[in-house]
Each structure stands twice: as C-alpha cells, then as structure tokens.
Amino acid sequence: MHFKLILALVDDEKTDLLLEAARRAGATGSTVINHARGEGLEKTHGIFGMALSSQRDVLLLLVEEHRCRRILETIAEVGEFDDSPGTGIAFQLDVEDALGVKHQMLSISQTLKDEL
C-alpha cells in the first residue's frame, strides 16, 4: 500500500472545518501543529507599522494514494484557498515508507476493495 502526505497550512479558525471535510473525503486521521506563523505575498502591517501575522495551523494527513487527490481538492474547496488570498495552501508529497499504520491498512484495504 502506498501513501501520500497532505500538508495544509490554514487559518486556525478553519482547522476543525477542514479536518471534518477531509474525513468525509476519506482521510482516516490527522496531526495538527498549532501556532505556526505565515506570510503571504506581501507583509501586512498593523498598528504603528508593526508586522501583523495571523496564527496558522499545519495539518498533516497521511492518506492512501488513491484517496489523496479527492481529499486535497476537498480541503482546498472547503477552505476557499483559490477564492480568497491568504486563506491557506495545501500540497501533497510522496511517502516512501510508513510505519505504525498497520491497524489502518487493514481497514483501508477493505474499503478500497469496495470502492474500486
């Protein structure tokens, strides 16, 4: 079984919404890293010219490769990544090997057989 890693950098207000959408699209779990900081194309300045940056979360989802694109597109759609600048970004990386997912592999294998 082959996996991909989806990384999504999102406003912390949207984290729960995106995790629910990813699960509906086929994700079986996630890891969230809170309080990341990000910058867009241009720096935003707040009061007295001080830099202003919103808190972001990093969502990590290790997903079976056949489900990856659907999950990635769902996250982008629900998060409105292409509609509004600065709302988030998501991308996938190939995973060469993964350990500690044996219990999920059995469940995923069965549901993939049913889907395909």
Say what the pLDDT of residue 114 is. Answer: 67
Q: DSSP characters for the chain?
A: --EEEEEEEEEGGGHHHHHHHHHHTT----EEEEEEE---SS-EE-GGG-EE--EEEEEEEEEEHHHHHHHHHHHHHHTTTTTSTTSEEEEEEEES---S-HHHHHHHHHHHHHH-
Q: What is the pLDDT of residue 43?
A: 63
pLDDT score of 55: 79
Output the tens digit of pLDDT for each of the chain's 116 residues.
789 999 999 988 999 999 999 999 999 889 999 988 766 666 665 555 555 556 789 999 999 998 999 999 999 999 999 998 888 999 999 999 888 877 777 677 766 666 66
Residue 50 is predicted with a pLDDT of: 52
> The pTM is what?
0.80
* CATH of the domain spanning 3-115, picked from 3.40.50.720, 3.30.70.120, 3.30.1490.190, 3.30.70.100: 3.30.70.120
